[in-house]
Structure 1
Amino acid sequence: MRSRMGALLWRAGLAVLLVCGIGLLPWLSHTDPALTVLRTRSADRDPTPEVLADIRAQLGLDDGPLHLLGRWLTGLPRGDAGHSWISGSEVAPDVLGALGVSLLLMTVALVVALATAAAVCARTLRLGARRRLAGRRAGGSGSAVLAALPEFLIASVLATVVGVQWGWLPALGWYGPQWTVLPAFALGLPAGAVLGRLLDDQLPGAFAEPWALAAAARGLPGRVVARQALRRCVPGLLPNLGLFVVGLTGGAVAVEQIFDIPGLGRTTLQAAIAQDLPVLQAGTLLLVVLGAVTTAVVRLTARRLIGPALRDGALQSLHRPAPPPAPTVRRILPLAYGLLLSGVIALGLPRDPLALDTAARLRAPSPTHPFGTDALGRDVLARVAHGALDTLLLALAISALAWLTGVLLGCMPALSGPLVDTVNAVPSVLAALLVTALWGSGSGTPVLAVAVVAWAPLAAHTSALLRQERATLHVTATRALGARRWYLLRSELLPAVLPSVTRHALLRLPGIALALASLGFLGLGAQPPSPEWGLLLAENQPYAERAPWAVLAPAAVLALLGALAVTAAGSGGGTRGTRRRTAVAAGGEVPPLKGELAGAS
């Protein structure tokens, strides 16, 4: 009881620190807010000390952090979030209006996600109702690759191909129901693929339980058994549903930016880039509250549905029978994808990514320029290859740091447990917005933002594996013989845990690279003329109608990286016991499908 109360107080303290940090953004910012306001309102005035001091007095920045925080907190219950530093208008009405747009988009995306999840597991439900599930592997490669792709990449392809090239649906704006279709598909397809694969992985275990066998023996219709098996699995997915909504919140920032939707994500992003801190404070607080409320509602719903079994741990987890070894083709796919990606990088590295040729602007792919050229005549293949090298090296450094942090904090579950829950409620996009508010945008912003959240799944994985190892007979016997805690950790526990956690960290490497690319796409990372992957998509998006290859070529390489992540996770090495522990601790069969879901254990 005392430990539970301590954990509750620790979580409450973290929430208070997060809210106070948001309220103190104008005081914590390393950029001068007075200079930002002056450049926005009167760009022709000289930033003399007297002028800057007068602006700070008007903004109340000289009153000290406590007065600044108190004024912000006392104004929130009255609906007063301050005034925009850019437009001078009240923040609360604008932000609440943007929240309504985002909630509508997320609702439609949720419908798309549920339909996608139903399509992914439809075949399993059909086979289970006919008792023909023996030896079936979960999901399919198509759904796995779709689940691994970031929302900004899917949104870019949909806007370029469906919206611009084919002209089937509008790709920009927010003027009616038809404008919600493409953004909702960009958000809902990958999230639905994740939920569908998680459900598809649990259904065979439900169909193999005694009640299902007895129902089939009594001659109940297959659709009735399938419906009950679905009800059996849904409560186990509810904890992941909260993380899924948090992922929707983070993905909505990029999707709203691509489709020019006046939602909360786009409003907060523009405020972070412009250093309009009152708008950023209100938008960030709403995004955090949305994630926290969703997580709380999901946990309450799970407790109501499952009852004492959730509290007492009496509800058995659904583990499907061990699938047969992966076919030879599936074992070869990671190697093929890796060789293809390496070939693209090798072909592009000898080329100059910064060489300008204005006479060759927006040239179509040719033997001279296999991926075509961009709006300045630069070779797209060269920029993709150099951007891949830079991004993957950064991702490797972040993975190493996340591995070290995750292992250290995973050894202290009382400390890391509440921290993991808090970090899971903060998508990397939101972390990047806060970093931008503090230090401004630059090449270090996405690195710091991704590193802040990348350790959480590895810490959860480490603590879960340590709990398993401490319960083994050989560790219990060694402890009974008088072995000290440090000896057990160094000689027994860590050697058993580190291989699985290291493999998990390596599997997350492509996902971290995609996260860096998504932040670069939003303008929160490297600036032109850097060949960073996300920046390539952002630079070429305005020319999608004239030169679709300038968008589709970087998108194809990013999709190749996502496919490599999924196939490597699905057919990687390691013993069956190690791989099973990795999957169970990470919350699914394929840990790196979504960063928000892999730390669910």
Structure 2
Amino acid sequence: MADAARWRAGAGRLAAGSALLAAVAFLPWLSGTDPALTVLRARSADQAPTAGQLAAVREQLGLDAGPLPHFLRWLGGLPRGDAGTSWVSGTPVLPQVAGAAGVSVTLMLATLAVTLVVAALLGARTLSLGSRRLQRDRGTGTVAASLAALPKFLLASLLATVFGVWLGWFPPGGWTGPGSMVLPALALGVPTGAVIGGLLDHALPATFGEPWVRTWHAAGFPPARLVLPVLRRTLAGVLPQLVPSVVGLVGGAVAVEKVFDIPGLGRLALDSALAQDLPPLQTATLLLALLGIAAGLLVKALRHLLLGPALRDGGLAAPVPPARRPAGQLVRDCGFVLVAVCVAGLLRDPSHVDTAARLLPPSFDHPLGTDALGRDVLARLGHGALRTAGVALAVTVVSVVAGLLLGMAGAAGAGLTEVLSALPAVLAGLLTTAVTGPSAWGAACAVCLVGWTPYAAQTAALLEQERATDYLQASISFGAGPVHLLRHHLLPAVLPAVTRNAALRLPTTILVLASLGFLGLGEQPPTPEWGRLLAENQPYLELAPWTTLAPAGALVLLAILAAAGSPAHRFSGVRPRRTTR
């Protein structure tokens, strides 16, 4: 069985990697534009090249032969350490990609450290309370949701301005030494750590409610003695979210790399894709896929170390005291403010341009100020609410369903998840746009292509834990069929945690859609969409902060409401079980 599972996982990795590399190889031909024209413009910025120049580029690169010969020639050179030469610069690809990868991996390690610290701080309070009283206080849920909703590129701009320019504590840009890692790692690690910390904060009470913990507590073990076993048991389910999320930043931190002018792998892949420079794009994509596979294998090894008596001796799960919603009055206030702002904005014209009223601060006529074109920020915020929340919610639902199905697919689904977990949404957006053209729903499809991976990883981990418990084995021994097990055991154990994860990631989905729109791959201007408001007003953060604070505040409010309204808050992660004797 174990050998068969390994073979299925390997087949899944091979199939996913091959499909991904083949799609990248066909990108210039899928785009509908002449690859020679794109490459020539990237070389010389010539907007009106002659037919002779285009013919010379086609002959030089062998474009008339089609994508397959290029792809096979590139694959054949890899065993010799030859990844080809750049179509634009004419330099060898491998040193260029290796240098960018070194920068991105270094930044990833710094981001991992920040992520662990933030997650530990958010989970420490619940761990301390649970070890003393075996019950839940939801105080950190609002904090986690708020931090998870922080736009990474906006946080990066704010950190660069305050700590880089005003205070001069760290370099505001470039990649010159260890000090250059601090601000980018904070911008990437704080929101990511909030997501992981929120999941940890949600999962700990379910562990404290398991019989083995209550047995230890009744036997007189001190609370401090329970902390490490409970944490070990809980981390086994949360760990699959940690490493892929951070590894995904290797290629997905394009916006932050742009803010800090970091020559990372994400920027290299994006610039190569925009220029249709295939050799570096294919090499960067292959490296990202290998990083995803390595992260998946690392998670599997760590989970084998964590899964032991704390899981095997879990026995029949017991109900946990009902969880309280986080800061109920605060949630009601957030909902009222968000609805009031959106309704007020709907009564105004979001497209009216007044060049004489550019970047005006908040006033009676413009309660949230105006943007760089003199448009009312309140109006654009209100009119963009339904579109922003609707598209992001649809993407989240599709991603969750796909993640659940592929997470239940076993080893084959795990291999697919590992490969695509490190694929930047920007690259998926380029592939999708090449077929569908730039549009809001094209960007949504691109996010769905990669957005299911964290839910699949979480589903697979939770199912593995659930299948190892005694009560499931007891149900099987009494003749329970697959449908009964799925309905009464597996889904109740998985759905609350996955739903909580989706609620925490909802603002991130909005921001990913925004980044695609900002790059011209998604929602097109002048559509009033929250993410676009953040992206197009980010350059004015220091001069006119209200243009970005308003949509950023709306995202935070939406995150708090999503986390509070999540069905996961009606469960503690483990449903009551009937003990069969």
Find the counterpart in structure 2 of residue 370 from structure 1: 367
Q: What SS does structure 2 have at the residue aligned with 1:208? A: helix
Of 515, 525, 528, the residue aligned with 2:512 is 515
Give the whole-Å Cα distance in 1 for the aligned partners of 2:10 and 2:382.
48
Contact 1:399 1:505 in 2 (8 A): no
Give the whole-Å Cα distance in 1 for the aligned partners of 2:497 and 2:196.
24
Contact 2:510 2:531 in 1 (8 A): no
Find the counterpart in structure 1 of residue 242 from structure 2: 241
Give the whole-Å Cα distance in 2 for the aligned partners of 1:359 and 1:535.
22
Contact 2:492 2:575 in 1 (8 A): no
1:36 aligns with 2:38: yes
Give the whole-Å Cα distance in 1 for the aligned partners of 2:542 and 2:242.
37
> Cα distance 1:407–1:291, how it changes in 2: closer, same or farther (>3 A)?
closer
Give the whole-Å Cα distance in 2 for the aligned partners of 1:460 and 1:107.
21
1:208 aligns with 2:213: yes
Find the counterpart in structure 1 of residue 121 from structure 2: 119
Find the counterpart in structure 1 of residue 271 from structure 2: 270
Give the whole-Å Cα distance in 2 for the aligned partners of 1:320 and 1:200.
19
1:261 aligns with 2:277: no
Q: What SS does structure 2 have at the residue aligned with 1:136? A: coil
Contact 2:292 2:421 in 1 (8 A): no
In structure 1, give the amino acid aligned to 2:362.
Answer: P
Of 61, 85, 88, the residue aligned with 1:86 is 88
In structure 2, runs of 5+ residues without a counterpart are 577-581
Query: Which one is further off, 64-73 or 334-343?
Result: 334-343
In structure 1, give the amino acid aligned to 2:300.
Answer: R
Of 56, 74, 84, the residue aligned with 1:72 is 74
| 1:319 CA drift (Å) | 7.1
Q: What SS does structure 2 have at the residue aligned with 1:196? A: helix
Contact 2:352 2:375 in 1 (8 A): yes
In structure 1, runs of 5+ residues without a counterpart are 480-484, 583-601
> Taking every aligned residue pair, what percent have the same amino acid on both sides?
48
Contact 1:174 1:262 in 2 (8 A): yes
Q: What SS does structure 2 have at the residue aligned with 1:132? A: helix
| 1:73 CA drift (Å) | 0.8
Instruction: Trace 1:388-407 onto structure 2 (pairs within 5 A).
Output: 388-399=385-396, 401-402=398-399
Of 538, 558, 563, the residue aligned with 2:560 is 563
Deviation readout 1:330-359 (Å, 9 max, x if unpaired) = 345444333322222222223232322222
| 1:488 CA drift (Å) | 9.1
Contact 1:101 1:262 in 2 (8 A): yes
> Cα distance 1:46–1:260, how it changes in 2: closer, same or farther (>3 A)?
closer
Give the whole-Å Cα distance in 1 for the aligned partners of 2:378 and 2:18.
48
| 1:387 CA drift (Å) | 2.8
> Cα distance 1:168–1:363, how it changes in 2: closer, same or farther (>3 A)?
farther
Give the whole-Å Cα distance in 2 for the aligned partners of 1:189 and 1:568.
23
Instruction: Trace 1:126-525 onto structure 2 (pairs within 5 A).
Output: 126-127=128-129, 132-137=132-137, 140=140, 141-159=142-160, 162-163=163-164, 169-201=170-202, 205=207, 208=213, 210=215, 216=221, 226=227, 230=231, 233-235=234-236, 237-249=238-250, 251-303=252-304, 305-306=305-306, 309=308, 314=312, 316=314, 322-326=320-324, 330-399=327-396, 401-402=398-399, 418-436=415-433, 442-455=439-452, 507=503, 512-525=509-522
Give the whole-Å Cα distance in 2 for the aligned partners of 1:293 and 1:478.
37
Find the counterpart in structure 1 of residue 579 from structure 2: none
> Cα distance 1:372–1:66, how it changes in 2: closer, same or farther (>3 A)?
same
In structure 1, give the amino acid aligned to 2:96.
Answer: D
Deviation readout 1:155-180 (Å, 9 max, x if unpaired) = 34434555566665443333343332
Give the whole-Å Cα distance in 1 for the aligned partners of 2:204 and 2:485.
37
Of 95, 98, 102, the residue aligned with 2:97 is 95
| 1:530 CA drift (Å) | 3.4
Instruction: For CA contacts below 8 A with separation 6 or more, give which structure has more relative contact order.
Output: 2
In structure 1, give the amino acid aligned to 2:336.
Answer: L
Q: What SS does structure 1 have at the residue aligned with 2:253? A: helix
Of 14, 21, 31, the residue aligned with 2:16 is 14
Q: What SS does structure 2 have at the residue aligned with 1:216? A: coil
**TM-score after normalising by structure 1:** 0.77
| 1:71 CA drift (Å) | 0.8
> Cα distance 1:544–1:134, how it changes in 2: closer, same or farther (>3 A)?
same
Contact 1:202 1:319 in 2 (8 A): no
Query: Which one is further off, 556-565 or 116-125?
Result: 116-125
| 1:366 CA drift (Å) | 0.9
Deviation readout 1:515-562 (Å, 9 max, x if unpaired) = 322433455323443333233222222222221222222222222222
Deviation readout 1:295-336 (Å, 9 max, x if unpaired) = 212322333x257x59x9836499796244416x73454443
Give the whole-Å Cα distance in 1 for the aligned partners of 2:419 and 2:4.
18
Deviation readout 1:70-96 (Å, 9 max, x if unpaired) = 111122233433333333333222222
Deviation readout 1:464-520 (Å, 9 max, x if unpaired) = 89x99999979x8897xxxxx9x9999999999999899789847655434322433
In structure 2, give the amino acid aligned to 1:61.
Answer: L
In structure 1, give the amino acid aligned to 2:384.
Answer: G
Give the whole-Å Cα distance in 1 for the aligned partners of 2:213 and 2:459.
30
> Cα distance 1:318–1:250, how it changes in 2: closer, same or farther (>3 A)?
farther
Of 528, 537, 542, the residue aligned with 1:545 is 542
Give the whole-Å Cα distance in 2 for the aligned partners of 1:315 and 1:562.
37
> Cα distance 1:411–1:196, how it changes in 2: closer, same or farther (>3 A)?
closer
Aligned residue pairs total 563
Give the whole-Å Cα distance in 2 for the aligned partners of 1:459 and 1:250.
20
| 1:459 CA drift (Å) | 6.9
In structure 2, give the amino acid aligned to 1:216.
Answer: F
In structure 2, give the amino acid aligned to 1:249.
Answer: V
